[in-house]
Amino acid sequence: MKLAVIGGGGREHAIIKKLKENPTAEIIYALPGNAGMAQDAVCVPVSASDLDAIVRFALENAIDYCVVAPDDPLAAGCVDRLEEAGIPCFGPRANAARIESSKVFAKSLMKKYQIPTARFEVFSSARDALQYLENAPMPTVIKADGLALGKGVVIAQNREEAFDAVREIMENKKFGKSGDSIVIEEFLTGPEVSVLAFCDGKTVKPMVSSMDHKRAHDGDTGLNTGGMGTVAPNPFYTDEIAQVCMETIFLPTVQAMNAEGRPFKGCLYFGLMLTQNGPKVIEYNCRFGDPETQVVLPLMESDLLTVMQAVTNGTLADCEVKFSQKSACCVIAASKGYPEEYEKGAPLTVPKELLPYCCFAGAAEKNGVLVTGGGRVLGMTALADTLSDAVKIAYARIRQVKCDNLFYRADIGKRALNAKE
């Protein structure tokens, strides 16, 4: 089979590595991929947002199956376009991707179908939002409605910060049209859990749980990032909690999307907070998470391509989705300065024997040499029988990466290990 994966980050590299395990996968194209993944895929310089070029490439190269991984092309209807052209795909259509691309839609869906989430109000005028904030309890959480590169959420500790956030998003249009509407919601506390789940529109099969580390620096300090490391499974997510989530969140969400005429097919990402009043949804994503995917897929024992095709064909109920009992840890190395300004172009060397454990993201090629080319540059993963060993091995591996413009957190997995004790 000829496969194509749309996207070019660490998540896409992890998907490609897993797809490669299927012996029928004769060639895997990455559009656009990145220079670091060139030994696992054929990288094609087609942007993940150029839907015309993606469809043209898929037809001209007789692609048998296509995986659309990032949120932007999903929201723009990449799967709809490919399916119209007769190419089977993994990923939701645009009408279902809305569960991520509009927070107002997601929150309203949860309210309508009584899926547990933070209490909230929606505003489409800055004046009304500011007036509401005069008496709202603090801290509070302000979210731009649309996609904002993971930066559209502000936790305001006090009224001044809340006013500033509303003005930035709604008046100064910091995120453009994504800020035409906002959600202001209740501030929740508790451990966070990421659960990725395969859904074929009817059946939902969750993957092993994981824990992201979103802040840039140790001790959960610094700015929010796309994610600086992950561990799986998440020790806070017990079997009992998993059962509650299945009954109160996962199944109701899939049924709600169906009832709305937006069947969700693909990977549905549940960002959960385990509050004192039970698990609640913090966010939905319509795709695999990054770097969650870099710990979750290596633990998957079932064949990824087979499961993805079952999702596409609506036969997930009959398909086994099995995970190892081991633990995994992924440490992300990012360019110094990320998530703010950073330089690119620093030479990067990863020992050959570590390439099977390394997923490249912001990696580029200059004069035949691998160099840094983005914020998050690579993720190094390790599996072991215990989480403590997985963490140790992942760090032993990432220390062998040679580059003078990278940093990584030193405490990935620490909170999970403390929870286990």
Binding site for ligand AMP (CB under 6 A): 118, 141, 150, 153, 155, 185-188, 192, 214, 224, 271, 282-283
Partner in contact with 227, chosen from ligand GLY, ligand AMP, none, beta carbon below 5 to 8 Å by kind:
ligand GLY
The residue written with tokens 């009954």 in the block is 247
Name which of 118 and 406 has its Cβ closer to ligand AMP: 118
Minimum Å gap between C-beta 283 and ligand AMP is 4
DSSP notation for 154-223: EEESSHHHHHHHHIIIIIS-TTGGGGSSEEEEE---S-EEEEEEEEESS-EEE---BEE--EEETTTEEE
Largest CA distance in the chain: 61
Minimum Å gap between C-beta 289 and ligand AMP is 9
Partner in contact with 141, chosen from ligand AMP, ligand GLY, none, beta carbon below 5 to 8 Å by kind:
ligand AMP
Minimum Å gap between C-beta 225 and ligand AMP is 10
Minimum Å gap between C-beta 404 and ligand GLY is 27
Name which of 72 and 212 has its Cβ closer to ligand GLY: 212
Name which of 92 and 116 has its Cβ closer to ligand AMP: 116
Burial of 189 from C-beta contacts in 10 A (0-12 / 13-18 / 19+): exposed
Name which of 41 and 106 has its Cβ closer to ligand AMP: 106
Partner in contact with 289, chosen from ligand AMP, ligand GLY, none, beta carbon below 5 to 8 Å by kind:
ligand GLY
Name which of 55 and 329 has its Cβ closer to ligand GLY: 329
Which residues, including other chains, have CB under 8 Å from residue 86's CB and lie 6 or more apart? none
Name which of 224 and 258 has its Cβ closer to ligand AMP: 224
Coil, helix or strand for 263? coil
Name which of 94 and 118 has its Cβ closer to ligand AMP: 118
Partner in contact with 292, chosen from ligand AMP, ligand GLY, none, beta carbon below 5 to 8 Å by kind:
ligand GLY
Tokens of residue 370, six digits: 């691998």
Partner in contact with 290, chosen from ligand GLY, ligand AMP, none, beta carbon below 5 to 8 Å by kind:
ligand GLY
**CA-wise closest residue to 387 among 189, 218, 233, 183:** 233
Whole-angstrom distance, CA of residue 160 vs CA of residue 145? 21
Name which of 237 and 357 has its Cβ closer to ligand AMP: 237
Minimum Å gap between C-beta 290 and ligand GLY is 5
Minimum Å gap between C-beta 224 and ligand AMP is 6
H/E run at residue 65: strand 65-68
**How is residue 246 annotated by DSSP?**
I
The length of the chain in residues reads 421
Minimum Å gap between C-beta 188 and ligand AMP is 4
Minimum Å gap between C-beta 181 and ligand GLY is 21
Minimum Å gap between C-beta 405 and ligand AMP is 26
Whole-angstrom distance, CA of residue 201 vs CA of residue 121? 29
Whole-angstrom distance, CA of residue 366 vs CA of residue 209? 38
H/E run at residue 360: strand 358-360
Minimum Å gap between C-beta 194 and ligand AMP is 9
Partner in contact with 53, chosen from ligand GLY, ligand AMP, none, beta carbon below 5 to 8 Å by kind:
none
Partner in contact with 187, chosen from ligand AMP, ligand GLY, none, beta carbon below 5 to 8 Å by kind:
ligand AMP
Which residues, including other chains, have CB under 8 Å from residue 95's CB and lie 6 or more apart? 261, 262
Partner in contact with 285, chosen from ligand GLY, ligand AMP, none, beta carbon below 5 to 8 Å by kind:
ligand GLY
Partner in contact with 32, chosen from ligand GLY, ligand AMP, none, beta carbon below 5 to 8 Å by kind:
none
Position closest to ligand GLY via CB: 289
Name which of 71 and 283 has its Cβ closer to ligand AMP: 283
Name which of 185 and 290 has its Cβ closer to ligand GLY: 290
How far, in whole angstroms, is CA 149 from its chain's centroid?
11
DSSP notation for 93-150: -HHHHHHHH-HHHHHHHHHHTT--B--EEEESSHHHHHHHHTS--SSEEEEESS--TT
Partner in contact with 145, chosen from ligand GLY, ligand AMP, none, beta carbon below 5 to 8 Å by kind:
none
**How is residue 261 annotated by DSSP?**
T
Name the residues that contact ligand GLY, by CB under 6 A: 212, 226-227, 285, 289-290, 292
Whole-angstrom distance, CA of residue 359 vs CA of residue 7? 13
